[in-house]
Amino acid sequence: MSDPAPLQINGTTIDATFAEAFPMKATRLVITAHTPTWALNAANAMTGFATSVIGCGCEAGIERELAPGDTPDGRPGVAVLLFAVSSKELAKQIERRVGQCVLTCPTTAIYGGIDPATSRAPLSDVASLGRGLRFFGDGWQISKVLGGTRYWRVPVMDGEFVCEETTATVKAVGGGNLLLLARDIDAALAASEAAVAAMRKLPNVIMPFPGGVVRSGSKVGSKYKGATASSNDAFCPTLVGLSPRSELGAEVGCVLEIVIDGLTDVDVGLAMTAGIVAATARGRAAGMLRISAGNYGGKLGPYHFHLHELAAGLDGSRA
């Protein structure tokens, strides 16, 4: 069978490959505060050091900012998504991050953001949110049940910290990705920033790396004992002509990756499509040469996002 005909959009080649993603566990938390600034302060702190489960325990990021009319207590808020490899690890990360970064932040409250009645993502478990944190109240904490949901009120120095007792968790998808191959660093950054901005307009997804972009794309394994991941030499421009795995030509001066976590595979696919649209809108004339994706031969993750399928309905042409 012959190789698929190359697909081009605005002069940018879309590789005939796929991104391979993996099952994860996730939850949404809603942080509210007296002002939007303090809600963002707590959200930024809580989602810090959460780029990859390889070394951070979880992958987390801000999903969107919320107007007062969209929060449980009618105050400004921020929705964050947290992803981990297991329900146990997710619960541990929630308790630590909320305790250290939200309980401590002036005027904040926190609530579970997954509605079991409307969630499109399959429900997984229930994780503690305020159940353990209430003990910070040293016996002065009180609870209240509203509409079948228990909330805790913990006395703190600016008044009280309100938190829902638990949060629902769901089965989710992590590791969707796009590799943007560009002429130089300026072209790669511009395309990546445009792609991330487009993805962030969609619900149910985060791009957990700094600014949504990662330069240190990795492969499984290493020549060094004990290292579980190492530099993806196939996409390192400085290794063209040196690494037998190189997939780059001389014209590629920079490769950047965008990793996407979503509550469902549909959410990840929609975000990847939005990223393709935004990156190819810049086109070859602006230095956006190719779009590829990272996979492991389809052997490790059950979710395969084929780039040609995602781009099938876009304004492209067969080269």
Say how far apart CA 268 and CA 282 lie, in whole Å. 22
pLDDT at 315: 64
pLDDT digits (tens, 9 = 90+) for 2-56: 456 679 999 999 999 999 999 999 999 999 999 999 999 999 999 999 999 989 9
Domains annotated for the chain, with CATH where assigned, are: 7-21+173-318 (3.30.70.520), 24-170 (3.30.70.520)
Average pLDDT over residues 297-312: 91
pLDDT at 318: 45
Buried b / exposed e across 232-261, counting CB within 10 Å, b at 16+? bbbbbbebeeebeebbbeeebbbbbbbbbb
pLDDT digits (tens, 9 = 90+) for 150-183: 999 999 999 999 999 999 999 999 999 999 999 9
Say how far apart CA 235 and CA 216 lie, in whole Å. 10
Given a contact cutoff of 8 angstroms between Cβ atoms, the answer to whether 32 and 111 are in contact is yes
**Cβ neighbours around 125 below 10 Å, total:** 17
Of the two residues 315 and 7, the one the predictor is more confident about is: 7
Residue 298: pLDDT above 70?
yes
Residue linked to tokens 């964050």: 80
pLDDT at 319: 45
Model's pTM, two decimal places? Answer: 0.93
Beta-strand relationship, 7-9 and 12-14: antiparallel
pLDDT digits (tens, 9 = 90+) for 87-99: 999 999 999 999 9
Residue 308: exposure state from Cβ atoms within 10 A (0-12, 13-18, ≥19): middle
Given a contact cutoff of 8 angstroms between Cβ atoms, the answer to whether 113 and 164 are in contact is no
The DSSP H or E segment spanning 32 is strand 18-32
User: pLDDT band at residue 289, thresholds of 50, 70 and 90?
Assistant: very high
Residues 6+ away with beta carbon under 8 Å from 281? 10, 194
User: pLDDT band at residue 82, thresholds of 50, 70 and 90?
Assistant: very high
For the chain, the average pLDDT equals 94
